Amino acid sequence: MPAQRHVKKAGGAGQPSDERPVLVDKGECERGERGSDERMISRKLLAGLIVIGFVGFAIGWGTYSYFSDTETSSGNIFSAGTLDLKVNGTDNPSAFFTVSNVMPGNSSSKSIVLSNSGTLAGKAYIHFKNVVDSPGTTPQPEPTPDNGELSKNLKIKVSNGTATVVEGFLFDIKSNSYLLGTIAGGGSLTVTIEWSIPSTVGNEIMGDSVTFDIEFSLVQA
């Protein structure tokens, strides 16, 4: 049903005002109000899209528009160092001692040069190993049982040029490795091995013999 709305019309001076009702379509009013709301929502949506677009543009511009410079370090490489022990300039040298007819009071020495042909520093060690005594044949009486006693009476002294590394009878020092010193890459170390038979030793070593190996090793320092 149409709604009434009063419209007041002002008259001239001394004239009464003309006020009369005007019929207005209520549905038309509601449609007008809905249209106004829809236009308001559309404007808000449009404003939101504009803001989102602007923010996205600002982020993209900030990400891709800064100055930049890239440098690359190429050809990086790691290589392992080496240890290479040489004994008197060679690998696995022959025997340093081949001595016969030893007797109480005898002594001698041998100098050996250890060199490190590698690139890394290494700790050098000496080890007397594989010691084997033999009783041989004795024309004079020996203590029994006769198992060969020369290793127990062969005194060994090892030095590195500045200090004594080990000193004792071969039989007693055979179980351990002894530190000789540190050899730098490309460096060397001179080791001296002295041996002697005490003059107090008697017939117990007569006719005896002993064999052994001398092992040198180089371990990363």
Among the listed ranges 64-68, 119-123, 190-194, which one has the minimum average pLDDT value?
A: 64-68
- Helix and strand totals (H; E) in the chain: 2, 10
User: In the predicted model, what is the mean pLDDT of the chain?
Assistant: 84
Average pLDDT over residues 55-84: 81
Are 21 and 6 contacting, i.e. CB atoms less than 8 angstroms apart?
yes
CATH architecture of 85-220: Sandwich (2.60)
Burial class from Cβ neighbours inside 10 Å (0-12, 13-18, 19+) for residue 173 reads buried
Lowest mean pLDDT among 82-96, 125-139, 164-178: 125-139
pLDDT of residue 7: 47
Task: With beta carbons less than 8 A apart as the criterion, state whether 183 and 116 touch.
Answer: yes
- Of 78-82, 136-140, 169-173, least confident by mean pLDDT is 136-140
Closest CA to 115 of 165, 181, 179, 159: 181
Record the pTM. 0.68
Q: Cis peptide before 139, with omega less than 30 degrees from 0?
A: no
Q: Where are the domains of the chain?
A: 3-64, 85-220
Report the percentage of the chain scoring pLDDT > 90.
Answer: 63
Q: Which of 143-147, 154-158, 214-218 is the least confident region?
A: 143-147
Provide the pLDDT confidence category of residue 42 given band limits of 50, 70 and 90: confident
What local confidence, expressed as pLDDT, does residue 149 receive? 93
